[in-house]
Amino acid sequence: MRRSERKKARAMGSPPLPMSMDEAKHEGVDRFDVILISGDGYVDHPSFGVGLIGRVLHDAGCSVGIIAQPDWRRDEDFRALGEPRLFFGVASGNVDSMVNNYSPNKKRRRRDVYSPGGRLLRPDRAAIVYANKVHALFPNVPLVLGGIEASLRRFAHYDFWSDSVRQSILADAPSDLVVFGMGEKPILEIARRLESGDDVGDIKDVAGTAVKMEVREWRATDHQGFLEIPSFLEVAKDKRRYAEAFRLHYGEQDPFRGKKVVQPHPKTVVIQNPPALPLTTEELDRIYELPYTRAAHPSYREEIPALEPVRFSITTHRGCFGSCSFCALTHHQGRIIQSRSIESVVRGAEKLTKMPGFAGVIQDVGGPTANMYGMACNRWQTCGACADKLCSPDCPSLAADHSRQVELLHRLREIPGVKRVFVSSGIRHDLILADQSPAGREYLEELCRHHVSGHMKVAPEHVSGRVLEVMHKPSKAVLEEFRRRFKSLSREEGKEQYLVPYFISGHPGCEIKDMIELAEYIRDSRLYSEQVQDFTPTPMTVSTCMYHSGFDPFSGKPVHVPRGREKEIQRALLHYRDKRNWVLVREGLRIAGREDLIGDAPKCLVPMEGRGVREKGRLRR
């Protein structure tokens, strides 16, 4: 967006939050109540965590300043806005800084899409680095950690980049509290308590926060109502105890039935309070209708690349009950779906049509899983999600009904100035098939007719039955039925449309023979795609627990974990057409006894030797 368009964008909403004292004085502020520090460039948009939390605090009456991507080697950057009256809030940004800075092969990335011009301005372990600096300069000011990095590192966790078990971030950073999850309710409660005169050390019971306690104090505390899990020292040296600790805290991530979870560390004790209660529809509507400019701060002279794909997108809901093993949403947004009202989403779309740069295209309407909008379970608002089973479209208590989504998409298409409405978030194809009401078929018809730009994203992740079971994903048969329906409907519409599947290599439970099965499926179904990824163990997922421990944390059974050369072979099998991978593909096929797939026959994945690169470093059987 050009600078002239940014000025127009500011006119559509209220001015962005100040990043300098000159801006603050213009707003009549000489000292901020709260200062938020972020590893991202500052974007006043609800898809950017610090931008959203800043607006929520401002809406509640707090004056808020933003320090975006400070140079951690310079005191001046952290002193730029002075000392806040209530607290500093620190976040690494929209993505864990280690995920953001490194590829799955642990190679440093050359670009940061959350920075102006894609420049590299974020330190490794940004939340800890920023917190240490703030505490050194302002030792008497309360310090609250938040965002995805702090949220998913609140317990002792396996860290892929150091290949070690690290302490809770509360034990490594000089923070008073960690706000986990989406954060609006707990951050407002913390601000209220500090405003009323409470000492930050006394704020230990806010839902959606994790706190720390001295070891001596914990020993003297009545432990009734707490669930103590294996300590850091236990999980760091014993992988079975690591898996057991994960199983225990995973079971308490429910706002209605979750207990306080305690994990002792050598110099402190970490206590997680139950998650914050879900936002009501009215609360969610208010948050997403705050006067965002949907633009980067006007001080930037370079674009922030991450903004453009979402600038004209609309968030409809939060939460995901899919419970995929490789996803941390259960520990962050939770399993309970929280949906905005149709009227609120429509009002948001109408505002988009008046924004500079809007060309009539809404880039996305959705959430973590687009077609979970409006879905609900009759237990969620009283009992929470079930403790003894995961949510499933087969459950009679779950209303896997697409009628509200059909109505919403219809309303959006009718708005003057809106030419196209895309659903780009990705969908759960099994939910569409499970919806036996007329709305199930109608939803897929509407997607095919109006809401995909020739390609529909789905995430089957694999086709091997045993791997899908470990991943907690729908079966291959479900994918096949969905493909059949999608193809049939596209043909009826007279459109040539394609599914874009996402597949994962190297996931726990996956062996070379499973990847060969997937490669053959890709060959036979003509679903060859560049949209694949090598499994990366990120904090607080079931898959990462299995990757580190070698055990399924729920059944206790051993799980095969591909590493090293085998992991390289598995990834190569997904891109078997790439000549650079032929050496690895042949090696994997021979290990699995599938030499029949090497050669020039129509079903072969790769040709015989002599047509690729020289082989070296083979993995032995």
Contact call for residues 437 and 392 (beta carbons, < 8 A) = no
Per-residue pLDDT, 611: 57
Distance CA 434, CA 445 (A): 15
pLDDT value for 11: 42
pLDDT score at 382 = 85
Tens digits of residue pLDDT in 56-66: 999 999 999 99
pLDDT in tens, 405-427: 999 999 999 999 999 999 988 89
- Predicted confidence (pLDDT) at residue 619 exceeds the cutoff of 60: no
* CA 354 – CA 334 distance, rounded (Å): 34
Whether residue 96 has pLDDT greater than 90: yes
Confidence of residue 3 (pLDDT cuts 50, 70, 90): very low
User: Is the pLDDT reported for residue 260 higher than 70?
Assistant: yes
pLDDT at site 387: 86
Find all residues with CB under 8 Å of 526, minimum gap 6, and list them: none
Q: Judge whether residue 464 has pLDDT over 60.
A: yes
- Provide mean pLDDT across the span 553-582: 96
475 CB-near residues (< 8 Å, 6+ apart): 465, 468
Q: Burial code of 185-220, b = ≥16 C-beta within 10 A, e = fewer?
A: bbbbbbbebbeeeeebeebbebebbbbbbeeeebee
Residue 298 confidence (pLDDT) above 60: yes
pLDDT tens per residue across span 142-192:
999 999 999 999 999 999 999 999 999 999 999 999 999 999 999 999 999
593: left (phi over 0), alpha (psi -120 to 50) or beta: left
Annotated domain spans of the chain = 3-272, 486-621
pTM: 0.93
* Contact in structure between 569 and 585 (CB atoms under 8 Å): yes
**What are 107-130's pLDDT values in tens digits?**
999 999 999 999 999 999 999 999
Average pLDDT, stretch 88-112? 95
Pick 10 or 450 by higher pLDDT: 450
Q: Which residues contact 217 (CB under 8 A, 6 or more apart)?
A: 269
**pLDDT above 70 covers what percent of the chain?**
96
| Spatial distance between the Cα atoms of 358 and 352, rounded to a whole number of angstroms | 7
pLDDT above 70 (res 620) = no
Q: What is the mean pLDDT of the chain?
A: 93
pLDDT of residue 1: 41
Q: Does the structure show a pLDDT above 90 at 317? A: yes
The predicted pLDDT at position 614 comes to: 46
Cα–Cα distance for residue pair 358/421, rounded to 1 Å: 12
Report whether pLDDT(285) > 60.
yes
- Predicted local distance difference test score (pLDDT) of residue 8: 46
**What pLDDT shows up at residue 454?**
81
Which pLDDT band holds residue 379 (cuts at 50, 70, 90)? confident
Query: Quick check: 621 pLDDT over 50?
Result: no
pLDDT at 205: 96
Residue 573: strand, helix, or coil: helix
Q: Which among 588, 574, 573 is positioned nearest to 532, based on CA atoms?
A: 574
pLDDT surpassing 60 at residue 294: yes
> What does each C-alpha distance from 397 to 199, 240, 595 come to in angstroms?
44, 34, 49
Residue 617 predicted with pLDDT over 60: no
**Tally of CB atoms within 10 A around 603:** 10
List strand residue ranges (DSSP E) for 428-555, in order: 455-461, 498-505, 532-534
Name the pLDDT band for 134 (thresholds 50, 70, 90).
Answer: very high
